[in-house]
Amino acid sequence: MRQRVFESRNAVLRQFAATLAVSCLLVLAGLGGASAQSGTPAPDQGKAAAQPADAAKDAAQNQRRTDEFAEAAQVINGPAGNPECVWLGRRVVRLMWRDDLDTAFRHLDLYDRFGCPGGHIQAAFRCLTRFGGQIDPKVAETLDSRVHACWINPAAQPQQAAASASQPAAPASGNAQPQPAASPSPAASPTPAPQK
């Protein structure tokens, strides 16, 4: 008796599974035919046109990154020039600039694990704060290029401040006589009140 119940239950489950599979196939076939008639392009056609442009863009970006790592390795002596230190260090500085300190500290832990010097991050961030007025928050490339420049040369100075500090104030013409400083005008004395 028990065996007949199990056999009938298995037969019902097999029938249900077969019905479900057939109905799913019919629904999928109907959707495929409906999308073919709707005139919308297949997703593969749109992707095929965008792939060459994306591939060229990715290749250019990868080449730029490789060049930046090679430049850092040539300019910076020691572990701060290693590619992993450059990548993680610039990322920490960028995150600190954007006030994402929690993520910056997690990256800083990785940076320390690779044996990278923490002082270089401090110097690069100090450099970045000097250039704060020149960074456009709406254009990510300005921040990225400035972070890289400060990573390569943490002692860099902004052009305006460096130019004004290096040139002493000189007179406009060679024959100019120094002008005497203007003396302050005397304060007006109060008028005496008429006597009564």
* For residue 23, pLDDT beyond 80: no
Read off the pLDDT band of 130 (50, 70, 90): very high
At 5, the pLDDT band (50, 70, 90 cuts) reads low
Q: Pick from 119, 128, 121, 120: which is nearest to 97 by CA?
A: 128
Task: Tell me which of 24-33, 106-115, 186-195 is least confident.
Answer: 186-195
More confident site: 79 or 186:
79
13 vs 106: CA distance, rounded Å:
52
| Dist CA 70 CA 92 (whole Å) | 20
Task: Give the least confident one: 49-63, 130-144, 154-168, 181-195.
Answer: 181-195
pLDDT top residue among 163 and 30: 30
**Confidence class for position 85, pLDDT limits 50, 70, 90:** very high
pLDDT at residue 55 in the model: 83
| Dist. CA 79–CA 86, nearest whole Å | 9
Average pLDDT, stretch 145-154?
A: 92
41 pLDDT more than 60: no
- pLDDT bin (cut points 50, 70, 90) of residue 136 is confident
Q: Which two tokens stand for residue 36?
A: 């073919």
Q: What is the mean pLDDT of the chain?
A: 76
For residue 149, what pLDDT is reported?
92
Using pLDDT thresholds of 50, 70 and 90, give the confidence band for residue 117: very high
Nearest CA among 107, 93, 70 for reference residue 154: 93
Q: What is the DSSP letter of 192?
A: P
